[in-house]
Amino acid sequence: MSKVIAIAGKGGVGKTTFSGLLVRHLLRTGNTPVFAVDADANVNMNDVLGVEVDKTIGTVREETAKAIGGNALPVGMPKETFLEMQMEEALVESEGFDLLVMGRPEGAGCYCFANNLLRKHVDALSKNYPYIVIDNEAGLEHMSRRTTQGVDQLFIVSDASPVGIKTAARIKKLSEEMDLDIKSAGLVLSRVQGDLHPALLQMIEESDLNLMGQIPASDEVLDFAYAGRPVLDLPDDSPVSQAVAAIVENSGI
């Protein structure tokens, strides 16, 4: 049975970096292969993982819808087979993990059939991996579309600020109101400098957010970003690597 890990939070708090660090931890602990899904329309998870992306699910969706609507499918090829072929081209394979990028939102026109086929094939593909890591887009849109339904662990990432904690609390509340199938949810604080302000700790407690760990601010991670190096190359003794390992252990996944 696959374990699904989803990451949510407001923009600019380090969600994608945390997602990449989770993939790194799973690789280093032998929990492979990992299925990484970039569900953010901005598309940058491939950068932190150090792989190139040529085709996204957004492209697959549009190409499939146009082929079906324009009767442009190859002669004798069923719609399902065409989409499966496109999906295989969109899947980026790397050592220990595969990456699927959702890409830009769909444009005008009807995508119902293509979307239904897409969900079917993503679900089928997911069964081949022990761990699935989904980096969701910023804000709450992914929650309203129920793309985090069926999640073993939801990590809500925030910076150590009142605005970030308020956003995290709203995400948690929305997930509860929508009765999503999320077995466990917890807060991760990113880019933490020094001790947390007592007022912030009180906000976290009053918001009923389960603080699962803190990731320290890191010049090393910033240097990797500037150099175009993936977080997968971070050493095991890096404070950031150790913080993520502790968060994973605390979550029980």
Residue 194: exposure state from Cβ atoms within 10 A (0-12, 13-18, ≥19): exposed
- 3 state SS of 168: helix
Q: Identify the pLDDT of residue 26.
A: 97
pLDDT value at residue 165: 95
pLDDT tens digits in sequence order for the chain, 253 residues long: 789 999 998 888 899 999 999 999 999 999 999 999 888 767 789 999 999 998 887 787 777 777 776 666 676 677 777 777 878 888 899 999 999 888 765 555 554 554 565 567 667 778 889 999 989 877 656 655 656 668 899 999 999 999 999 999 999 988 888 877 889 999 999 999 999 999 999 999 999 999 999 999 999 999 999 999 999 999 999 999 999 999 999 998 8
- Residue 238, pLDDT score: 96
Do the beta carbons of residue 181 and residue 150 sit within 8 Å? yes
Structural domain containing residue 46 = 3-251
Give 200's contacts (C-beta < 8 A, 6+ positions apart).
160, 161, 162, 165
Contact 193, 161 (CB under 8 A): no
Could you tell me if 184 and 153 are in contact, meaning their C-beta atoms sit under 8 angstroms apart? yes
Q: What is the pTM of this model?
A: 0.88
Instruction: Give the whole-angstrom CA distance, residue 222 versus residue 227.
Output: 9
Kindly give, in sequence order, each residue whose CB lies less than 8 Å from that of residue 207, ignoring residues fewer than 6 positions away: 165, 166, 168, 169, 172
* SS3 readout for 20-42: HHHHHHHHHCCCCCEEEEEECCC
The CA–CA distances, whole Å, from 168 to 16, 199, 206 equal 16, 16, 12
**Cα gap 32→166, rounded to integer Å:** 35
**What is the pLDDT at residue 233?**
96
pLDDT score, position 242:
97
Enter the tokens of residue 22: 């989770």
Name the domain count of the chain.
Answer: 1
Spell out the alpha helix ranges (H) of the chain: 15-28, 45-49, 57-69, 79-90, 112-126, 141-144, 162-177, 198-206, 219-227, 239-251
Q: Report the distance separating Cα 34 and Cα 94, nearest Å.
A: 10
Angstrom CA distances, 139 to 107, 196, 253, stand at 20, 24, 24
- What does the pLDDT read at residue 64? 74
pLDDT confidence of residue 75 = 67
Cα dihedral: 133, 46, 7, 91 (round 10)? -40
CA distance 6 to 176: 15
Question: What CATH code is carried by the domain that includes residue 220?
Answer: 3.40.50.300
The secondary structure of residue 95, as a DSSP letter, is T
DSSP 135-160: EEPSSSHHHHTTTT-SBSEEEEEEES
The pLDDT assigned to 145 comes to 60
Answer whether 65's CB lies under 8 Å from 111's CB: yes
